[in-house]
Structure 1
Amino acid sequence: MHDDEVPVSLAMAGALICAQFPRYRDLPVKPLAVGTDHAIFRVGSKIAARFPRRREQAETCRIRLEAEARSLAELAACCPVPCPEPLGLGRPGHGYPMFWSLQTFLPGEIATPAGLARSDAFADDIARLIASLRRADTKARHFDGRGRGGSLTDHDAWIATCLENSRGLLDVARLSALWARLRLLPPGGPDAMSHRDLIPANLLVKDGRLAGVLDGGAFGPADPALDLVACWHLFDTSRRARVRQSLGSDEVEWQRGAAWAFAQAIGLVWYYEQSNPDMAALGRSTLARLLDDG
Structure 2
Amino acid sequence: MTMHDDQVDVTTETVATLIQEQLPQWSGKEIRLLQSTGTVNAVFRIGNDLSARFPLRLADAAETLAVLKQEARASAELAQVSRFPAPEPVALGEPGAGYPMPWSVQTWLPGTVSWDADPSGSDAFAQDLAAFIAALREAETRGRHFSGEGRGGVLTHHDGWMEKCFEESEELLDVRRLRHMWSHLRELPRAGADVMSHGDLIPGNVLVTGDRLSGVLDTGGFGPADPALDLVSAWHLLQRGPREVLRRTLGCDDLEWERGRAWAFQQAMGVVWYYVESNPAMSRMGRRTLDRILEAME
- What TM-score results when the alignment is normalised by the length of structure 2? 0.97
2:126 equivalent to 1:126: no
Given the alignment, which residue of 191, 211, 216 partners 1:213?
Answer: 216
Aligned residue pairs total 294
Given the alignment, which residue of 39, 44, 50 partners 1:41?
Answer: 44
* Residue matched to 2:113: 110
* Residue matched to 2:33: 31
Q: Deviations over 1:33-87 (max 9, x none)?
A: 3420100100000000100001110000001100100000100011111100101
Which amino acid in the other structure matches residue 182 of structure 1?
Answer: L
* Residue 114 of structure 1: how far off its partner (Å): 8.3
Contact 2:137 2:197 in 1 (8 A): yes
Q: Deviations over 1:268-293 (max 9, x none)?
A: 11110100011011000000001011
Taking structure 1 as reference, are residues 45 and 212 closer, same or farther at Cα in structure 2, changes over 3 Å only?
Answer: same
Q: Deviations over 1:118-150 (max 9, x none)?
A: 111001011111111100000010001111000
Given the alignment, which residue of 265, 273, 279 partners 1:276?
Answer: 279
* Residue matched to 1:12: 14
Root-mean-square deviation over aligned CA pairs? 1.0
2:138 equivalent to 1:135: yes
* Residue matched to 2:187: 184
* Residue matched to 2:162: 159
CA distance in 2, matches of 1:188, 1:77: 27
CA distance in 2, matches of 1:278, 1:210: 21
Query: Structure 2, unaligned stretches of length 5 or more?
Result: none
Contact 2:55 2:103 in 1 (8 A): yes
Contact 2:232 2:263 in 1 (8 A): yes
Given the alignment, which residue of 75, 79, 90 partners 1:87?
Answer: 90
* Residue matched to 1:229: 232
Which amino acid in the other structure matches residue 130 of structure 1?
Answer: I
* Residue matched to 2:178: 175
Contact 2:33 2:43 in 1 (8 A): yes
Given the alignment, which residue of 141, 144, 148 partners 1:145?
Answer: 148
Contact 2:14 2:97 in 1 (8 A): yes
Contact 1:225 1:254 in 2 (8 A): yes
Which amino acid in the other structure matches residue 151 of structure 1?
Answer: V
Contact 2:117 2:208 in 1 (8 A): no
Q: Percent identity?
A: 52
The 5-angstrom pairing of residues 42-81 of structure 1 reads 42-81=45-84
CA distance in 1, matches of 2:196, 2:283: 28
Q: Deviations over 1:147-192 (max 9, x none)?
A: 1000000000101100110112111111111111000001120000
Contact 1:141 1:221 in 2 (8 A): yes
* Residue 263 of structure 1: how far off its partner (Å): 0.6
CA distance in 2, matches of 1:77, 1:182: 34
Which secondary structure does the structure 2 equivalent of 1:193 belong to?
Answer: strand
Which secondary structure does the structure 2 equivalent of 1:196 belong to?
Answer: coil
Which secondary structure does the structure 1 equivalent of 2:260 belong to?
Answer: helix
Which secondary structure does the structure 1 equivalent of 2:247 belong to?
Answer: helix
CA distance in 2, matches of 1:112, 1:173: 30
Contact 1:91 1:100 in 2 (8 A): yes
Contact 1:113 1:233 in 2 (8 A): no
CA distance in 2, matches of 1:244, 1:84: 27
Moved beyond 2 Å, runs of 4+: none
Which amino acid in the other structure matches residue 86 of structure 1?
Answer: P
CA distance in 1, matches of 2:210, 2:120: 14
The 5-angstrom pairing of residues 233-248 of structure 1 reads 233-248=236-251
* Residue 32 of structure 1: how far off its partner (Å): 1.4
CA distance in 2, matches of 1:186, 1:47: 43
Which secondary structure does the structure 1 equivalent of 2:54 belong to?
Answer: strand
Query: Structure 1, unaligned stretches of length 5 or more?
Result: none
CA distance in 1, matches of 2:117, 2:196: 27
